[in-house]
Amino acid sequence: MNGPSPRTRPESKASGAPPVVTVTEYTDPACPWAWGSEPVFRLLRQGLAPRLEWRRVYGILFDEDDDPAPDPDAEARWYEGFVKGVAAHTRAPYAARLHWLTRTSWPASVAAKAAGEQGDAVAERVLRRLRETTFVLGRPADTAEGVASAVSGVPGLDLDRLLSESATTRARAAVREDRAETRRPLREVCGLEGEGPHPGRAKEVGEGLRYALPTLLFDGPGGRVCVPGWRPLEEYLEAVTTAAGEPPAPPHRLTAREALDRWRSLTRPEAELLTHERTPPPDAVELAAANGPVWLHPDEADSHPALRPHTLP
């Protein structure tokens, strides 16, 4: 399939103020395609920030009522191979060994959602740490204790507040709504056929369907555009243009110093896409991973779970 996927037009077009596009990202902290899409999504959020409002919807890739694997180690080895196959397309790093498959997406999703109460920057850093437990450490944060350990030391985060909020029925209800929304995909992606390794056809789950992860919806005065699955940057920029009703200014790159200060953690694809230098600054702390390193800000390295001792369950 070429170009952004199907769109709908509103009855009238906004006028006056510059168009603002709302982006809805259907995601999961443990999704390897979402992890591999982060370079492009970061560029969109950073470079087009004055025109974009971004909301995340947590789709629950691994549900609580999923049947447990009869052989957890064999399942982890199978999923390890799946992640490696995804990384062949995304170039994202991944853990050399996945110690266990994510048992449930709920704890990480609830924490990531609750972190939004402390601001967008904190929420992004919390979600990044949670992703890295799977794709850098190979130890998914799939319990309350694992989440607390993963996000401890995130700059600007009130950890006690996050843990208290995550334990409330309100936080869980918000993710329950996200889960339900993800299982109401647009008709256009149900039965979608397309080229590429992950074209974004809605997935069969139980008796229904859910959006493929990640999927972005762009809503603006020019209409709605759905961009599902694994797509190049150009398709997302086309979607912004259509939804906004006019072309946006091109996204801009940062210096390597600015990028590491902004995001605290960079993969090689992120450094290449987001920075002028295409490499990290010299004081970045390198974490070894399969398929390429992850570079941390020195202050991030002081509290990052990858640099702490671990005890296997």
Q: What domains are defined for the chain? A: 19-251 (3.40.30.10)
Instruction: Assess whether pLDDT exceeds 90 at residue 101.
Output: yes
Confidence at residue 5, expressed as pLDDT on a 0 to 100 scale: 45
Contact 215, 227 (CB under 8 A): yes
Instruction: Assess whether pLDDT exceeds 90 at residue 97.
Output: yes
What would the mean pLDDT of 75-79 be, rounded to a whole number? 97
Q: Helices then strands (H, E): number in the chain? A: 11, 10
Confidence at residue 68, expressed as pLDDT on a 0 to 100 scale: 81
Short-list 134, 129, 70, CA closest to 101: 134
Higher pLDDT, 120 or 308: 120
Confidence at residue 131, expressed as pLDDT on a 0 to 100 scale: 99
251-289 pLDDT per residue, tens: 889 999 999 999 999 999 999 999 999 999 999 999 999
Contact 220, 200 (CB under 8 A): no
Could you give the 3-state DSSP secondary structure of residue 212?
coil
pLDDT band of 19, cuts 50, 70, 90 = low
192-214 pLDDT per residue, tens: 998 899 999 999 998 899 999 99
Confidence at residue 66, expressed as pLDDT on a 0 to 100 scale: 78
Instruction: Assess whether pLDDT exceeds 70 at residue 9.
Output: no
End-to-end CA distance of the chain: 44
Name the percent of the chain lying above pLDDT 70.
Answer: 93
pTM for this predicted structure: 0.92
Question: What region does 102 belong to: left with phi over 0, alpha with psi -120 to 50, or beta?
Answer: beta
Contact 51, 237 (CB under 8 A): no
Could you tell me the two tokens for 187?
């008709």
Confidence at residue 206, expressed as pLDDT on a 0 to 100 scale: 86
Instruction: Assess whether pLDDT exceeds 70 at residue 83.
Output: yes
Instruction: Assess whether pLDDT exceeds 70 at residue 185.
Output: yes
**Of the ranges 64-78, 118-132, 146-160, which one carries the lowest mean pLDDT score?**
64-78
Residue with tokens 């924490």: 111
Strand partners, 287: 294
pLDDT band of 310, cuts 50, 70, 90 = low
Confidence at residue 7, expressed as pLDDT on a 0 to 100 scale: 44
